[in-house]
Amino acid sequence: MHMLLKKKFPWKSLHLKTDALNKMNHLKLLQLNFVELNGSCEKFSEDLRWLCWLGFHLRYIPSGLYMGNLVAIDMSYSKLKLFQPPMVVNPISYFNDPFKTT
């Protein structure tokens, strides 16, 4: 399991090039906490099953991010305004709704 961990509410985000993640073949679990990725998500592992990206910095899901095998996604504390995955083949069994106001 590869994990990039920051404090829950950092003062600034960590910047990371997508090249660092593109080289991780067969990546199934990914947790990014307040990380801003620079570059294309098109070469991410298609094996990705679980994505936890706290503090996601974009307002939309990148079009190149393959989500066909995801079964769980958590994007709490994100700037996400619209959740329209580019492609979802399998139904997501766990989704932590960042828009939920309870």
Percentage of the chain beyond pLDDT 70 is 69
Beta-ladder partners of 54: 33
Q: pLDDT at position 101, please?
A: 47
pLDDT for 2 equals 47
Domain tally, the chain: 1
User: Alpha-carbon distance 68 to 65, whole Å?
Assistant: 9
Lowest mean pLDDT among 35-44, 47-56, 77-86: 77-86
Alpha-carbon dihedral of residues 61, 65, 67, 70, nearest 10 degrees? -90
Distance, CA of 96 to chain centre: 12
Give the per-residue pLDDT at 97: 61
Which pTM value belongs to this model? 0.69
What domain range is 52 assigned to? 1-102
